[in-house]
């Protein structure tokens, strides 16, 4: 009898542990010439703000929004790369199936540049919808990046932001749950000369 209880308890811990370790989550890192380390950006150099997602279940749509703010820095530069990004300027890129319609097959990744003019605070939204297929579970991978230059020293913070049409961050299943992903932020970066 004790062996059965131990076995059942082990199965419960395994199932709960796996579900918590692979929950849908969104996190952020920086890379490129302007990334000094995980939390420091070099002013005047291009830095890529990389968005990572881990997915734990099957979804058919998502909505995310981000804000970039600073108490002292007044502007950033969006690094143009015409024709090579998800938006007209090319400073927003997709990866691992988020760069085209291979996952989000309705219209690809929809980028809503609500206030994406270089003057802080910035506000940016993303959305996607699967019609013919589903967004399947996967480990943590880079899915989006924002290429920017911060021209002066100070601090910038990138955080989640309320964003229509969903009004909140969500991953939605066609027949099932709508889930707000775990967010690893806000992320505050020191900008040095």
Is the residue at 13 inside a domain?
Answer: no
Domain span at 37: 24-192
Residue 57: strand, helix, or coil = coil
Domain count, the chain: 1
Residues 6+ apart with CB under 8 A from 106: 128, 129, 130, 131
Is the residue at 11 inside a domain?
Answer: no
CATH code at position 40: 2.60.40.680
The reported pTM is 0.84
User: Tens digit of pLDDT per residue, the chain (193 long)?
Assistant: 333 322 322 222 222 233 333 368 999 999 999 999 999 999 999 999 999 999 988 999 999 999 999 999 999 999 998 778 999 999 999 999 999 999 999 999 999 888 899 999 999 999 999 999 899 999 999 999 999 999 999 999 999 987 655 567 888 887 776 778 899 999 999 999 9
Which tokens belong to 42?
């070099």
d(CA 114, CA 106): 21
Burial profile 112-138: b = 16 or more Cβ within 10 angstroms, e = fewer? bbeebeeebebbbbbbbbbeeeebeee
Is the residue at 45 inside a domain?
Answer: yes
Is the residue at 38 inside a domain?
Answer: yes
């Amino acid at each position: 009898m004790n062996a059965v209880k131990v076995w059942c308890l082990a199965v419960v811990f395994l199932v709960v542990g796996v579900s918590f370790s692979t929950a849908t989550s969104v996190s952020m890192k920086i890379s490129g010439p302007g990334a000094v380390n995980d939390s420091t950006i070099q002013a005047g150099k291009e830095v890529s703000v990389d968005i990572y997602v881990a997915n734990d279940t099957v979804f058919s749509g998502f909505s995310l929004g981000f804000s970039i703010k600073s108490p002292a820095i007044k502007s950033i530069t969006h690094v143009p790369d015409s024709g090579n990004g998800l938006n007209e300027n090319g400073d927003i890129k997709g990866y691992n199936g988020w760069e085209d319609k291979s996952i989000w097959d309705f219209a690809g990744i929809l980028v809503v540049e609500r206030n994406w003019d270089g003057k802080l605070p910035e506000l940016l939204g993303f959305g996607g919808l699967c019609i013919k297929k589903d967004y399947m579970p996967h480990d943590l991978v880079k899915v989006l990046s924002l290429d920017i230059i911060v021209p002066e020293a100070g601090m910038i913070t990138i955080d989640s932001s309320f964003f229509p049409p969903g009004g909140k961050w969500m991953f939605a299943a066609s027949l099932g749950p709508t889930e707000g992903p775990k967010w690893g932020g806000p992320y505050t970066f020191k900008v040095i000369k």
